[in-house]
Amino acid sequence: MITIKSEREIGTMARAGRIVFETLSLMREIVKAGMSTEDLDREAEKFIRSHPGATPSFKGLYDYPKTLCTSIDEEIVHGIPSAKRVLREGQIVSVDVGVCIDGLHADAAVTIPVGVITPEVQRLLDVTERSLHAGIAAALAGNHVGDIGHAVQKVAEAGGYGVVRELVGHGIGTRFHEEPQIPNFGTPRRGAQLKLGMTLAIEPMITMGAYATHTLKDKWTVVTQDASLAAHFEHTVAITATGPRILTQ
Ligand code: MF3
Ligand code: CO
């Protein structure tokens, strides 16, 4: 079942989304070579809990142990923060975070350069972020889930990149993962129809090489099979009468 949120619920999700956005802004400020992903996680959790009523959505979800997912280079998503993972100059790190307020969630991710990265890698980040915004622009009442995926896929593949198939975006609300699934590929007019009041987490995962994935022995970290670099950007979006409203900015 795809749930429709009231304006009040969307307002609460926007409050959670603002904290998500501010957490990711803080991460952009502090990411630096020599820092561990555990350091990032500690700062993020402290920042989220400094807001009365706000809790990290991921911690405890499916027994996930941390506030953030931190995925470096060929890691696509669900990297677990660790003191042993120290960031090095020239890497990229996807930071994904969810916040819950009054029982409602918001979810977003950005991929952050560690110091100076090459123009080739910067282009991967730029195209992935552009593909996210193309997907968001298709999140209109009357459109279909396939319109979002198609819009993302067109931008990513025109850039020469791979679109990960095995992981998808999702509805979000009182539960962190709700229906519908939002693939980052698709056919226009196919899939569930989008309606006013739906709230969706749209999250392209785009690779420099092939799109096939592999999950590491930690049972969480998803990497590219060919070890090519991957980028991940995500926003939580509400479908409103005036168009898509990004709740995580
Ligand atoms: N941000 C991830 C997603 O979009 C959620 C991580 S699942 C968790 O679906 F269990 F790691 F929290
Ligand atoms: Co998500």
Is residue 1, in this structure, part of any structural domain at all? Answer: no
Separation between Cα atoms, residue 183 and residue 187, nearest integer Å: 10
Q: What is the pLDDT along the chain (249 residues), one digit of tens a residue?
A: 999 999 999 999 999 999 999 999 999 999 999 999 999 999 999 999 999 999 999 999 999 999 999 999 999 999 999 999 999 999 999 999 999 999 999 999 999 999 999 999 999 999 999 999 999 999 999 999 999 999 999 999 999 999 999 999 999 999 999 999 999 999 999 999 999 999 999 999 999 999 999 999 999 999 999 999 999 999 999 999 999 999 999
Q: For the chain, what is the domain count?
A: 1
2 in a structural domain: no
Confirm or reject: Cβ of 198 under 6 Å from ligand 1.
no
- Tokens 């819009």 identify what position? 151
Amino acid at 119: P
Q: 107, 78 in Cβ contact below 8 A? A: no
187 touches 150 (CB < 8 A): yes
Range of the domain at 111: 7-246
Q: Which is nearest to 196 in space by CA: 125, 131, 141, 122?
A: 141
Residue 103 lies in a domain: yes
* Cα 109 to ligand 2 centre (Å): 8
Angle between helices 7-30 and 37-49 (to 10 degrees): 140
Domain with residue 76: its CATH number is 3.90.230.10
Q: Does residue 159 form part of some domain? A: yes
Dihedrals phi, psi of 105, to nearest 5 degrees: -110, 155
CA 52 – ligand 2 centroid, Å = 23
pTM of the model: 0.98
Cross-strand partners of 200: 171, 237
184 in Cβ contact with 164 (< 8 Å) = yes
In a domain, 166, yes or no: yes
Specify if 88 maps to a domain.
yes
